A and B are shown apart, each in its own frame.
Chain A
Amino acid sequence: MHLLETRNLTVRFGGVTAIDNLSLTVGEGEIRGLIGPNGAGKTTFFNAVSGRYPSSGEIRVRDHVVSGLKPNEIVAQGLARTFQHVTLFKSFSVLKNVMAGCHLRSGYSFWGALLGTPRTRQNEADNERRAREILDFVGLGGLADETAANLPHGLQRAVGIAVALASEPQMLMLDEPCAGMNTAETRSMSDLIRRIRGNGTSIILIEHDMKVIMGICDQITVLNFGTKIAEGSPEEILRNTAVHKAYLGSAADAS
């Protein structure tokens, strides 16, 4: 049983086919890299799987068909994601961002919230504890009360991941987590990704920084123009000339 499986996934915008009959499987506990030149359809793939874009074909999570579900239902199925551009509740504190993420897996009733019942207070306390745990886990424990908008870019990305982790996903889809980071930040991000996997969460990773991809992925899928052009271990991908050509540009041949 695969954790995530897509069968003949196709996404069209008007006349353009952004994802073309893509079939892909990701196993449990895997870190899967998704690479390809800009415009290859990587983010579109995330958007389709997370329910943001309508698609044809089939998407399954642990053999449950999730195609056609709304994003919030897909998250409930255990599939969380982050975004290419930093996407946070920017005026919230870091802690509150993560607590919002915890909402899905914690008890909530409207009336309880309104009346402030002991149970709700317990829930909120649990929630906050959970959120702080997650923040500690991603290494942001000291920044819980900062307003998200005031954090530097790299830390905002980490908050984004913390928010996604807060929904306790079985699989996390990371869209360029290292974009715009310096070497040290990138290293700690790679580290974080490995630790997340260590907790039993599978990961699909879109990343342009090849150091990251080659360093932490078990398997890599290469997309170009919405189709899969290669799949395999980092070493295999590095040797694949089709990949070279697609990814590094035509001039790569000449060099």
Chain B
Amino acid sequence: MSFDEIPQMLVTGLSLGLMYALIAIGLTLIFGVMRIVQYGHGEMYMLGAFFLYYWTAKWGLPYWLGVAASASVIFVLGAILQQTLFQAVHGRNILYSLAIGMGLIFIFSSGGQIIFGTTVKGIPKFATGGILVMGGFLSYERIVISIVSASLVVGLWLFLQKTRTGMAIRAVSEDPETSALQGIRTRQIHWVAFGLGSALAAIAGCLMGTLLSIVPTMGFVATIKAFMIVIMGGLGSIPGALVGGIILGMIDSVVTTVISADIAIIMSFVVIFLILVFRPSGLFGQQWT
């Protein structure tokens, strides 16, 4: 490894980490509020990306409007899934939500292959070219996408801190009963948070899909990544998801460049294992019992 590769590694790792974090934050939000694991979270990511694909490539509509539209559609889908499937297992053993999530993976990824076709697709670009940052190359696309994901993370944080609904979400994830005593309709917060989490995944899908390519089966990999990050950072913790995402992005980038990709993925699992052994509730987690 030569010295001048370090900026490239860091820059790549950071931008990757931010996007991972975006998927993971949605998952952590859903867990925090409902205490269920949405194992099919990655499918929202996939569907979001495909929506944008049809929006831009097929109907030729503007890109950023498409991202917003995708987020809204998946928000509604997430809310519907919560109401129809997940509300029924709320409060029951977490395994049941896991099983429903698995069912959703089967249905969406395979249904996606039938509806969208099995070919790999690419979402048209909104920018080309790039600049050198301290010796690391950054395409404009990547810069914009990183900025968007970073500002979404900040925006979500502000939303949760400042707005009435955001505070209600935090309150419900801390103590549903006391929240109800403040007049918060906890069931409503459930679907709002579920929709919001799904919408975040959809946005991540749009951004990642633009940067890379999309297939109907890409959701499960996203679920795995999100799950790794969320557990590493601590379930229900948004800073945890951010830090976890960046750790994973950095491992992917640095270890792949320095050693190789297969070592990188082994390493990321080892790191998660070690984090959990020394901090049994993740980096920022609380013990949910």
Q: Do A's and B's CB atoms come within 8 Å in the complex?
A: no
Where the two chains meet, the residues of A that have a C-beta atom closer than 8 Å to any C-beta of B are none
Where the two chains meet, the residues of B that have a C-beta atom closer than 8 Å to any C-beta of A are none
